[in-house]
Amino acid sequence: MKTAGNTILITGGGSGIGRELAARFHALGNTVIVAGRRKEALEQTIAGREGMHAITLDMENPQAIAACARQLLADHPSLNVLINNAGILRREDLTRPRDLHDAEKTIVTNLLGPIRLTNALIDHLAHQPDAAVVNVTSGLAFVPLSWAPTYCASKAALHSYTLSLREQLKGKVEVIELAPPGVQTELEPGQSGREGFMTLDEFIEEAMALFSEKPTPAEILVRQVRPLRWAERDDNFDQAIEALNAL
């Protein structure tokens, strides 16, 4: 993936990993558009940065995604990189019947949202030079955390979808998977101070170094996530799931 001279859309750009990716790619000389629900948070991301733009987007609403795609292509016809970063995590108790609102919202946001947005932009991207789609999954796609079952399932599904997308777009659009470990963001309340998680700065530094490699790895895997990614291959899955769920 070319790291400069792109026009990049980053969903979930109002906070956490999305905000930091936006700042780093902008600093490398890219035009960056951040998208998300909260206009105020997006404006904080772009404040003082010429060549960075914001657009509100509800990833749960297919009509809003289609309308956003049309506006994006009208305003930024050079768009050539999509980073599907927006996502939510909810704790769930599977031991009793419950309202499935959180589970359904998670699937729609984390899986259907990226599928719908990629679908809305793919014809355009396929005709752009140096085009790329980056899907942000998680180390939990490979070793699940029991109290976040739908989140883990949604990221596992997005990983699988990314593999198929890469195969179908071979030679047209580069498809990259970014799989973070636990990072100190507010994905879940209190997570930004959780011991044992990577600091956001540490994660971004290592991830951006991997993005700059030539060729760019098909999977951006910082060191801390590799034990999860390769647990099954290394015949360490049972130990990994036990250790993860003991935290």
The whole-angstrom distance between residue 233's C-alpha and the CA centroid of its chain comes to: 24
User: Is 83 in a helix, a strand, or coil?
Assistant: strand
User: Is 163 in a helix, a strand, or coil?
Assistant: helix
- Cis omega (within 30 of 0) for bond into 114: no
User: Angle 128-60-158 (CA atoms, 0-180°, nearest 5)?
Assistant: 60
E-strand ranges in 21-131 read 31-36, 52-56, 81-84
CB hemisphere CA count around 1 (13 angstroms): 30
Closest CA to 79 of 36, 111, 127: 127
Q: What are phi and psi of 136, to 5 degrees?
A: -90, 115
CA 232 vs CA 103, 139, 151, 175, 226: distances in Å? 26, 12, 20, 23, 11
Tokens 């995590």 correspond to 89
- The letter for the amino acid at 153 is A
Please identify every residue annotated as catalytic: 151
